[in-house]
Amino acid sequence: MVAATLTPHMSETSARLAPMADRLVRPDWVRRVNLMASSVGGHARDLVPIDAGDMLDTAAVALGGLPAGDLGDPRWQERFEALVAAIDASGMHTVGRLMTKQELLRSLRTRLLLTELIDRSPEVRDRPVTAPVIVTGPARSGTTILFELLALDPGLRAPTAAEALHPVAMPEAEAADDSSLSDPLVLSECEQEIWADVQPEFQAVHELRSDLPVECVTITQGSFCGFHWSMVASLDGWLPDPAVNYAYERQFLQALQHGDQATQWLLKTPGHLMLLPLLYAEFGDAWVVQTHRDPAKTMPSTVSTTAMIQWLRTDHVDVDGMAEVILAVFAAGLNGSIDVRASGTVPAERFVDVHFAQLMSDPVATLRAAYDQMGRDFTADHADAVLDYLAHKPKGKFGVHRYQPEDWGFTAEGLRSDLAPYIDHYGVAREG
């Protein structure tokens, strides 16, 4: 059996990692807005208060009261209040608090609007989410580009950022003389593209656009117990609840697919890798496409990405602690996936393995092989669409995300040692 936990091998310099302030320079506008709290002798909390009661009152007034239903989670309001309290105490700067308050209030409205929809049309729950194709794997293992290439298949539907953030029409849209209130693409632009405005280097890490397929962490913000919130901030005393989160995601997808009889969902998030039994408990006939790449490449990128995401919102990023936790979590997930897939608790025959090197060298052949395993037709039109998409999205379009193991307290050989069971079992190629 493969051990589920381990003590990660960090380099001797791991206790002396450079702080984020030495790695990235903030744009002047961000620095100035963050100084506004200091300029009046206060704290960012004074300029941008984040209070659960205020947000609940605001949403109730806008929607004409809170709906009677609860999407099967009678504790949702308790979860919301606990999350808000943890975020309020997390030490975000002014810009970070504004970004996060907007996400919280929009997620609250989304949840309430979904609840109203399902209360009004309970038949939404009658149609199951059938055989979703779910991409998972560590950062920089090809998950994003694979997700986007699979989304070119007209037989699969990947939720876009616009519909993930605004799945139900805003009630204000009917009364307002402003067409932008009825266009989810316009409404979602503010919170999708501001990430790169706050830190331009983020564009090279992960492109966010309203019309692009979006990860499950975005879909499930309104559960108030999903991984988006622990990704954007270090939240003391707050823990996600994956089982409740998956139940919320299923209902969210059921609402989106209502009236579209042909929907087969395409989904993606690295975190599914650590939760395979819970994933299959909710989506029992899912196909899981697991991507693989040398951990010496994927682990530094995962830490770099997560550190930058938190740096967007706070001056206080615990780089040393983050590196240790991320390695331990992903090592447990990657090594542990061997036993999980062999245990019989998940359907091993519904896993497809995609290796980064093969995807990069021949994406069409790699997708065709994956489709063969899933019993799907890989059409000539899809192959042409893949080649055209890649031709118009060259690598490094927005710059290069540079990272080395030593930058984050690792060594290449130490990472490969910690992930040796994973590397050996799946035949992961060593790079460099």
Per residue in 341-400, pLDDT (tens digit) is 999 999 999 999 999 999 999 999 999 999 999 999 999 999 999 999 999 986 666 566
How confident is the model at residue 41, as a pLDDT?
Answer: 79
Total count of residues recorded for the chain: 432
Does the pLDDT of residue 127 top 80, yes or no? yes
Confidence class for position 187, pLDDT limits 50, 70, 90: confident
Tell me if residue 210 falls in helix, strand or coil: coil
Q: What is the average per-residue pLDDT within 206-230? A: 94
How confident is the model at residue 397, as a pLDDT?
Answer: 62
pLDDT digits (tens, 9 = 90+) for 35-58: 998 888 789 999 999 999 999 999
How confident is the model at residue 1, as a pLDDT?
Answer: 38
Does the pLDDT of residue 15 top 60, yes or no? no
**79 phi/psi in degrees, rounded to 5:** -65, -45
Q: Supply the mean pLDDT for the chain.
A: 92
Tell me if residue 375 falls in helix, strand or coil: coil
pTM of the predicted model as reported, rounded to 2 decimal places: 0.93
Q: Are 121 and 251 in contact (CB under 8 A)?
A: no
- What's the CA gap between 94 and 108, in Å, rounded? 21
Q: What tokens does 346 get?
A: 């998940």
Closest CA to 190 of 276, 120, 102: 102
**408 phi/psi in degrees, rounded to 5:** -125, 20
- What's the CA gap between 106 and 217, in Å, rounded? 15
Does the pLDDT of residue 2 top 60, yes or no? no
Q: What is the average per-residue pLDDT within 57-84? A: 93
- What's the CA gap between 329 and 274, in Å, rounded? 8
**What are the domain boundaries of the chain?**
18-25+131-426
Confidence class for position 259, pLDDT limits 50, 70, 90: confident
Does the pLDDT of residue 280 top 80, yes or no? yes
pLDDT digits (tens, 9 = 90+) for 336-352: 999 999 999 999 999 99
Does the pLDDT of residue 190 top 60, yes or no? yes
Confidence class for position 178, pLDDT limits 50, 70, 90: low
13-17, 36-40, 64-68, 134-138, range with the lowest pLDDT: 13-17
- What's the CA gap between 115 and 403, in Å, rounded? 43
Q: How far is CA 327 from CA 6, 133, 192, 304, 331, in A?
A: 9, 26, 28, 12, 6
- What's the CA gap between 348 and 157, in Å, rounded? 24
- What's the CA gap between 425 and 335, in Å, rounded? 9
15-19, 88-92, 292-296, 407-411, range with the lowest pLDDT: 15-19
Amino acid at 44: A
Residues 6+ apart with CB under 8 A from 255: 114, 117, 118, 124, 167, 168
Confidence class for position 95, pLDDT limits 50, 70, 90: very high
How confident is the model at residue 14, as a pLDDT?
Answer: 43
- Tell me the fold of 18-25+131-426: Rossmann fold (3.40.50)
- Which helix (H) or strand (E) element contains residue 31? helix 28-39
Q: Are 338 and 422 in contact (CB under 8 A)?
A: yes
Does the pLDDT of residue 409 top 60, yes or no? yes
Rg (CA), the chain: 22
- Which helix (H) or strand (E) element contains residue 287? strand 287-292
- What's the CA gap between 38 and 253, in Å, rounded? 43
Confidence class for position 8, pLDDT limits 50, 70, 90: low
Confidence class for position 75, pLDDT limits 50, 70, 90: very high
Confidence class for position 315, pLDDT limits 50, 70, 90: very high
